[in-house]
Copies of this chain bind each other. A is one copy, B any other.
Amino acid sequence: MNDRSNILLTPAELEAELRAIGAVRYHHLHPFHRLLHGGKLSRQQVQAWALNRYYYQAMIPIKDAHALSKLHTSELRREWRRRIIDHDGDTAGTGGIERWLKLAEGVGLDRAYVESTEGILPGTRFAVEAYVNFVRDRPILEGIASSLTEMFSPDIIADRVRGMLQNYSFITEDTLAYFTPRLTQAPQDVDFALAYVKAHALTRADQEKVLAALRFKCDVLWTQLDALYLAYVDPGMIPPGAFVPG
């Protein structure tokens, strides 16, 4: 806190502060991602990533349902429910979760094992549940702000798709089909969420909560990669009960 800490930020200043958080805390900076995109991981390590990240994907609509329950106009709910539709699809076999399962199968995992989530790291489970609980338990302004990591996702997705296709013989465009719609969905979601926090964070205290919510969400993403790194990269300490690559 400096001497400007009680002065209301303009909407543009608030956005700049949000972007500054992403620049230092978003998980594109995590060593695991550099290894993943750079082709430095084994197929088994990519499996561990796909398996654990599935739990995050699978819980996103639950998180969004909690958000939906706090939006008190049809207009807002129509906007937010698009996220749930994106993940759950319109019919069986469509939607983001289904596409993630195809990615997991594409890297050689058994679909039912992935869906069971029984092999995920406890660190994954605790981080993802922290996110769901945050949106459930906090005011909607903070819940919406916590979604703003998507401001930073198009870049990482483009890097990831390019890097993984180039570097892994076992990865095809089909396997990565999850990411293609995200490149258009995420910016659309961000436009709404960013406009919402700019319009509704009208005290410095609320602006600080918005910034804290984004930091929290960066921690949720970072911690998932920390858990993967410790268990499957270095030093390779897999906790009792978690996925042991075959």
Contact = CB atoms under 8 A, between A and B. Distances in A.
B123 A129 contact: no
A160 interface: no
A130 B231 CA distance: 20
A156 to B, nearest CB: 16
A180 interface: no
A229 interface: yes
A234 interface: yes
Interface residues of A, number: 29
Contacts of A139: none
A25 interface: yes
A127 to B, nearest CB: 5
A222 B241 CA distance: 11
B241 A215 contact: yes
Contacts of A220: 122, 126
Q: How many of these chains are in the complex?
A: 2
A223 interface: yes
A86 interface: no
A181 interface: no
Interface string A213-246: 0010011101100110111001101011100000
Contact of A222 (B127, B226, B239): B239
Nearest to A231: B226
Contacts of A123: 123, 126-127, 223, 226-227
A240 B215 CA distance: 10
A54 B222 CA distance: 22
A76 interface: no
A240 B218 CA distance: 9
In the complex, the 8 A-B pairs of residues with the closest C-beta atoms, listed nearest first? A122-B219, A126-B126, A230-B230, A126-B130, A25-B240, A122-B223, A234-B235, A126-B127
Interface of A: 24-25, 29, 31, 122-123, 125-127, 129-130, 133, 215, 218-220, 222-223, 226-227, 229-231, 234-235, 237, 239-241
